[in-house]
Amino acid sequence: MTRTVHRRPARRFRPGNPRLRLRVALVAALMLLSVVGVRVLELQTIQGPTLAAAAAADRTRTVTLPAERGQITDRNGTALATTVEARNVTADQTLVEDPQAAGEALAGVLGGDPQAYAERLTGERRFVYLAKDVTPQTWERVRELAIPGVFSEPTSTRVYPAGDTAANVVGFVGAEGNGLGGMEYGFDTELAGVPGTLEYQRSARGQEIPTTAQDGTPAVPGLGVQLTIDRDVQWKAQQAIAAAVRGARADWGQVTVMAPQTGEIVALATAPTFDPNRPADTAVADRGNRAVSDAYEPGSTSKIMTMAAVLDQHKANPRSRFVVPPTLTRGGHVFHDSEPHGTLKLTLAGILARSSNIGTIQAAERIGGKTLYSYLKKFGIGEPTGLRFPGENRGALPTPAQWSGTTFPSLAFGQGLSANSVQMASIYATIANDGVRVAPNLVKGFVRADGSVQPAAAPASSRVVSAATASTVRRMLEGVVSDQGTAPQATIPGYRVAGKTGTAQRVDPDCRCYKGYVSSFIGMAPADDPQLVVAVSLSNPRNGKYGSVLAAPVFKKVMTFALQQLQIAPTGTASPRIRTTW
């Protein structure tokens, strides 16, 4: 039987419709383009500004432009503190490719530990400091290393070209450039100026793109401060007081040089001192200015206030006679002079020339306590100097309501009250200026960026005693410097000199008791036409104690130099003969 095999007929190939394929491809392309177009439209119109801002922010760097700090100069324009250009070396850790290699290269230029630089260059921080206040020349060497992620920012650094000369007046600045002492602190606002900003674009490697625009605000430079200090007189005063402190083994010493007609302080020297270029190398106590920060009981240099008050009230004259006993009891306390003596017959001028405590008490009793108190206030005791100096101690003067039975006699010869050295110099300047007190001042003017000078405000002035009284006190003070007085060591050949010694008991802050002495001398020249006052004091000397021995020679050195430096000629007149006994 034959099997029948059925065969499926062969399928015939039919080619696709090319138009259909084209349409499908076209639709797919249109759909893809639509998606891309929508995305582009979204990026450009919706997210575009945000993304552009983010990209610009990523490329933009904003740095602070420090304002140039004003100079501090002496009265003649000599720089005592100035600012020089510097650079801070910075880094963006995210751009640093090889921290170890970069650290080695930086250490070769900047010095220091390569590993420490490598650690500062490692991480995700966008801004870190590698070094501060390097010179522009040093930064140029760093820049030539072409280390990705290492940049610089402009800054400045403070330098003191005179070294320790006037350091305790000028002060110093901290790491951030703000004043931390002296005039740098007291006039920080005027000196600092106003910082500016600078924005620029940078590449992916962190380099500035030179063709992009820069934006920002310019810095406003600070004002310069011109002091009344004369650098050369200041230097001489510092040398003289430093030698005296060493020789006397004193805790510290100071010299104030003042022009009485203007109140200008020509020198304000203290020892020990410091180098403001390296303030951290010196004890904190030596960085201030003890001439204003340390008050002390002045002792006998204070007696001219008592004498001036008695004369001004017409209760005595230089020839008035006093019988001065060996001791004097007041308020249950026995007062005595520095050296034992019998009964003395002294004139008022003789009491001052011989610095008799007892005689001064007797003279003060002719005007009474309330009147004496009013004169002490007018001379500036217990009042601020107005120097804007940080840490000023204005001293102390008890009110009559606080007095005990011994306060009035003690105040008469300079105990029971306290004053700083500038205040004491101002007292003598008042007598030198015919009885008119001109407030002490340290600032002559402010220097603008264009070099013009804005004079400082005129200091306040007030009459304390009459011109006749002041003239009489000056003649009496000449007796102190004569061979009849306590300080012939202060004489200056060719010049008439008037002044007063002081050997005051020192209040020890630890025990709050009298311990040691403050030795001082304050004088003026030429005595008949005073142009300068020089005040000298040494605290707690261990080799000697008398102001005539320790302080008067310093006065002579400084006054002699200052008269020559400022070209002050002798008057050519003769000193009067002062009658001290009767």
Q: What is the pLDDT of residues 5-42, one digit of tens each?
A: 556 665 555 666 777 777 777 777 777 777 777 776 66
The bridge status of strand 344-347 relative to strand 60-65 is: unpaired
Residue 176 sits in the same domain as residue 275 = no
Mean pLDDT of the region 271-297: 94
The domain in which residue 500 lies consists of: 231-565
CA of residue 536 relative to chain centroid, distance: 21
203 catalytic? Reply is: no
DSSP-derived 3-state class of residue 264: strand
Alpha-carbon span 451 to 75, nearest angstrom: 15
**56 pLDDT band (50/70/90 cuts)?**
low
Residue 247 has pLDDT above 90, yes or no: yes
Whether residue 492 lies inside any domain: the answer is yes
pLDDT of residue 153: 84
Q: Which residues of 78-91 are buried (b: 16+ CB within 10 A; e: fewer)?
A: bbbbbbeebbbbbb
How far lies 574's CA from each of 119, 347, 354, 498, 502, in Å? 78, 22, 22, 13, 26
Asked whether residue 1 carries a pLDDT value surpassing 60, the answer given is no
Judge if 476 and 425 occupy the same domain.
Answer: yes
Tell me the two tokens of residue 522. Answer: 């304050």
CATH number at residue 313: 3.40.710.10
Q: Is residue 117 part of a domain?
A: no
pTM for the structure as a whole: 0.83
The reply to whether 169 falls in a domain is yes
Question: Cα–Cα distance between 99 and 114 in angstroms, integer?
Answer: 10
Instruction: Supply the pLDDT for residue 9.
Output: 61
In a shared domain, residues 261 and 330: yes
List pLDDT tens digits, range 477-499.
Answer: 999 998 888 889 999 999 999 99
Min mean pLDDT across 15-19, 493-497, 516-520, 539-543 is at: 15-19
Alpha-carbon span 329 to 334, nearest angstrom: 4
User: Is position 204 within any domain?
Assistant: no
Q: Is a pLDDT exceeding 80 seen at residue 365?
A: yes
- Would 23 be classed as within a structural domain? no
Task: Measure the CA dihedral 460/461/464/465, to 10°.
Answer: 170
Per the structure, the count of domains in the chain is 2
CA 404 to mean position of chain CA atoms = 39
> Do both 420 and 540 map to the same domain?
yes
CATH code for position 179: 3.90.1310.10
Which 3 state secondary structure label does DSSP give 581? strand
* Mean pLDDT (the chain, rounded): 90
Residues 389 and 333 in one domain: yes
What are the b/e assignments for 366-381, b being 16+ CB within 10 Å?
Answer: bbebebbbebbebbbb
Please check whether residue 344 lies inside any domain of the structure.
yes
Q: Are 260 and 156 in a shared domain?
A: no
Q: What is the pLDDT of residue 205?
A: 53
Element (H, E) at 300: none
> Do both 165 and 270 map to the same domain?
no
Highest mean pLDDT: which of 258-272, 481-495, 504-518? Answer: 258-272
Pair 173, 267 in one domain? no
Q: In what order do the strands lie in the sheet with 215-217?
A: 60-65, 196-201, 215-217
Which of 165, 297, 130, 168 minimizes the C-alpha distance to 239?
Answer: 165
Rounded to whole angstroms, the Cα distance separating 487 from 549 reads 8
Instruction: For the chain, give the percent of residues with pLDDT over 70.
Output: 90
H/E stretch holding 37 = helix 18-41
Mean pLDDT (whole number) for 80-108: 93
Beta pairing, strands 79-91 & 252-259: unpaired
Q: Domain check: are 158 and 279 in the same one?
A: no
One-letter amino acid for residue 356 of the chain: S
Residue 221 domain-assigned (yes or no): no
Question: Are residue 329 and residue 402 in the same domain, yes or no?
Answer: yes
Instruction: Output DSSP code: residue 418.
Output: B
Residue 20 in domain: no
Q: Are residues 251 and 190 in the same domain?
A: no
Q: Which is the catalytic residue, given 156, 203, 293, 300?
A: 300
pLDDT tens for residues 137-185? 999 999 999 999 999 888 888 999 999 999 999 999 998 889 999 999 9
* 291 shares its domain with 159: no
Residue 10: what are its φ and ψ, rounded to 5°?
Answer: -60, 135
State the pLDDT at residue 441: 96
- Is residue 118 within 8 A of residue 100, CB to CB? The reply is yes
DSSP assignment, residue 362?
H
Q: Is the pLDDT of residue 511 over 90?
A: no
